[in-house]
Amino acid sequence: MTRIPALSTSVTGTGPGLLLAHGAGGSIEGNYAPVLPALAAAHTVVAPDYPGSGATPRATGPLTVDALADAVVAAADEAGLDTFTLIGYSLGTMVSVRVAARHPERVRGLVLSAGLARPDNRLRATLDLWQKLLAEGDLQAFARFVALSAFGEDFFNAVPQDQVGPFLDLIAAGVPAGTADQAAAVLTGDSTADLAGISVPTLVIAPTQDTLVSPAHSRYLADHIPGAEYAEIATGHVPMAERPEEWEKLIVAFLDRHGL
């Protein structure tokens, strides 16, 4: 049985609760640092790192979306949040939907960016390759693959040629120890049956240049969550790196509009 360690969690700001759920191979720092100040300006932001990310040690066995959902709720409990809006990114969207399905009395809203309900064949093949490269310890090849699949074409091509090497080195140096474990949670996750039961205000944000998790997944979420709002952002899979101000504006405006 997998033991999920207590998640290393930062708590900032005061006000209505926001609970953050990051992506596979990411962290709170890597996925949310550009928008944290704006989120904490009027909210209590509870930001846990999954096993193998940030200061959280790896789990003792396979990770699942359900286990991660329980772990982030435990982080909210520890921080004293009774109710909260979930802000999920990539794998974090699957985690957020599962939390909303399992704890509907506690969830006030959802923001789902670059998300999915279950992996398709393209994403399965991508994550299989992730795991092969990580198992071989080839972080330089992994960094190149991430640069090609996660960043938008415009963004990656705009990196000056003499800075491409350092850019790839930065990606390689920042790969969390739990990346393969977290990718495995995506591969086994499926929240499709939960979508129709979501009844809280929901914003789905689709990065239109995303070749890692196709924007078709975001459209599916928006189409199957009753009343969901849908927005697009012209980036690859990492809007926090490519257009952080635009991403922040979409999130904050949604929270303000619904009093969340």
Residue count of the chain: 260
Structure tokens at 245: 């101000």
Catalytic residue among 10, 27, 90, 96: 90
Q: 3-state class of 144 per DSSP?
A: helix
Of 135, 116, 19, 34, residue with least CA distance to 69: 19
Of 120, 14, 106, residue with least CA distance to 69: 106
Rounded to an integer, what distance in angstroms lies between the CA atom of residue 155 and that of residue 252?
Answer: 24
Using the 8-state DSSP alphabet, how is residue 99 labeled?
Answer: H
Partners of 192 in the beta sheet? none
Q: Is 90 a catalytic residue?
A: yes
Non-local CB neighbours of 163 within 8 Å, separated by 6+ positions: none
Rounded to an integer, what distance in angstroms lies between the CA atom of residue 13 and that of residue 92?
Answer: 21
Catalytic residue among 181, 210, 217, 218: 210
Rounded to an integer, what distance in angstroms lies between the CA atom of residue 202 and that of residue 206?
Answer: 13
Burial class of residue 103 (count of CB atoms within 10 Å of its CB; 0-12, 13-18, 19+): middle
Look at the alpha carbons of 6, 12, 13, 18 in this order and tell me if their dihedral is positive or negative: negative
Q: Is 210 a catalytic residue?
A: yes
Contact 150, 237 (CB under 8 A): yes
Catalytic residue among 22, 43, 217, 237: 237
Q: What are phi and psi of 144, to 5 degrees?
A: -65, -40
Q: Which residues are catalytic?
A: 90, 210, 237
